[in-house]
Amino acid sequence: MPAVAVVGMQWGDEGKGKVIDLLSESAGHIARAQGGNNAGHTVVVSDKEYRFHLLPSGILYPHTKCYIGGGTVIDLKSLLGELGTLRRYGIDFKNRLFISPYAHVIFPYHRLLDELSETVHSIGTTKRGIGPCYIDKAARVGLRIADLIHQDTFADKLAKTLHLKNRELVKMYGQPPLDIEDVLTEYRTYAAEILPFIAPVEEMLYRASQNGEKILYEGAQGSLLDVTFGTYPYVTSSCTIAGGIPSGLGVGPANINRVVGVAKAYTTRVGNGPFATELSHDEIQFFPDHIAAREIGVTTGRKRRLGWFDVPMLRHSIHLNGADSLAIMKLDILDELDELKICVGYQIGSQKIRNFPATIEELAAVQPIYETLDGWKSSIGAIRSYGALPRAARAYVRRIEELCEVDISLISVGPRRDQTLWLDRFFGEELK
């Protein structure tokens, strides 16, 4: 496993946290390239659940070094809260967590503007200030970790930006202005707390790569949320595909040797936007409830929308990412269904759609073309080998593999580490 990227193939929430955690056992370095605390990765170890929003999921292994890259946007209060949780669990991260000085910082006005903009044009954001922070980055008025830790110039830079933001808050939304002294006091405290973690992440990853050390690149969100190639405008504000990892971490694209795409055995979505295979009112009655299915958002607490497995969408994501293999997650959630549907194509009227739609209007108009397979009607959570799966479960997995034309490398049959089936003919010891 010289260098592997793990990316989401759907609309996020695919189970990347578990895959990252599994592969971190044999990796020395785990790096996060983009997004912010709008991500939510869950890892279950010995029935103890850990939830991460900014920290790389591999932080639970004491031998790993973890990196937050320059392409991320960081809510320092959220990050420090996660570090506090690790301390309470007795997890030592001293000399193991490194933050790039190039990462941009989320401020109170970002969160406030995010929330206010949702009242005008709702796209279902997490209201964490991610989009407004990336807007400031592109507009060249953002503030970075490097600015925060240089206190001699930080106050002046913040004053200039806050003047612009207060004008926006007052004139566009009728909100009171934020007080610069309050913001300065809060963020000077944060600066002192995160100073020990600031490091030349880009140089460190380059050296690790040159030395042939095992690096795991951790994607956040999902390919269909990519700001360029996703279901725009119902997307996030960063590049969520494998190609965004080099730019978000400052590493050369040739340094990524393999791309593992993560997908659920069905499809989910949080927030607004078209969803071709979304379950009907009658169909959803046959699925486990959202709590039993673990389908409540880690970040937002919202119930996820549920749908059948969507092959056209997966093929689109596979092409965007150059995925070498797939990790199929949460197969166990389908245990009690009498039959399962797989969307094998789209049509509008009688016309079949050749490519994944580029506009939400076209995607909203498509009608899925389904194949129906038998369910297995038995619990698979205790199964530990692929061959022991019920025949119908194996048929479902193999049909997905055939239609997507990419090997399946692992199957998850539950949230714990041990509830994983390694298909070694694909993954092998190179990745495991």
Question: What is the pLDDT, as a whole number, of residue 153?
Answer: 95
Which residues are registered as beta bridge partners of 218?
A: 6, 32
* DSSP state, residue 197: G
- C-alpha 57/C-alpha 287 separation (Å) is 29
Helix, strand and coil percent figures for the chain, each rounded to 5: 40, 20, 40
pLDDT at 151: 86
Candidate list 13, 136, 310, 324, residue with the active-site label: 13
Task: Report how far residue 215's alpha carbon sits from residue 329's, in angstroms, rounded to the nearest whole number.
Answer: 22
Which amino acid makes up residue 9? M
Query: Counting beta carbons within 10 angstroms of the beta carbon of residue 12, is it exposed (0 to 12), middle (13 to 18) or buried (19 or more)?
Result: buried
Are the C-beta atoms of residues 371 and 401 closer than 8 Å to each other? no
CB 284 within 8 A of CB 267: no
CB atoms < 10 A from the CB of 101, how many? 17
259 burial (CB, 10 Å; 0-12 / 13-18 / 19+) is buried
Coil/strand/helix, residue 135: helix
Token pair belonging to 277: 């295979």
Query: Apex CA 319: angle with CA 314 and CA 321, to 5°?
Result: 95
Q: Which domains does the chain have, with CATH numbers?
A: 3-103+197-255 (3.40.440.10), 104-194 (1.10.300.10), 263-431 (3.90.170.10)
Q: How far apart are CA 228 and CA 339, in angstroms?
A: 36
What type of residue sits at position 430? Answer: E
165 contacts: CB under 8 Å, gap ≥ 6 = 109, 113, 178
Cα dihedral sign, 139-142-147-152: positive
State both tokens at 425.
């003919």
Residues 80, 193 contacting (CB under 8 angstroms):
yes
Dig out the tokens for 199 from the structure.
Answer: 């490091």
pLDDT for residue 303: 86
Side chain identity at 25, as an amino acid letter?
E
- Cβ proximity of 242 and 248 under 8 Å: no
CA–centroid distance for 347 within its chain = 29
Q: Which of 29, 41, 104, 110 is catalytic?
A: 41
What amino acid occupies position 332?
D
| Eight-class DSSP state of 176 | P
Instruction: Give the DSSP H or E segment for 132.
Output: helix 130-139
- 104 as an active site residue: the answer is no
Active site residue 121: no
User: Which residue type is seen at 308?
Assistant: W
* DSSP β-bridge partners for residue 295: none
Omega before residue 177 within 30° of 0, cis? no
Asked whether the beta carbons of 182 and 173 are under 8 A apart, the reply is: no
- Enumerate residues 6+ apart whose C-beta is below 8 A from 264: 10, 13, 14, 15, 309, 328, 329, 330, 333
Calpha distance 294→414 (Å, rounded): 10
pLDDT in tens, 97-125: 999 999 999 999 999 998 888 766 666 66
Beta pairing partners, 198? 99
Owner of token pair 């971190």 = 24
- Rg over CA atoms, the chain: 22
Angle at 18 between CA 14 and CA 21, to 5 degrees: 140
Instruction: Give the model's pLDDT for residue 376.
Output: 97
Residues of the chain with pLDDT under 70: 1, 40-41, 46-47, 119-125, 298-300, 424-432
What count of other Cβ atoms lies within 10 Å of the Cβ of residue 57? 28
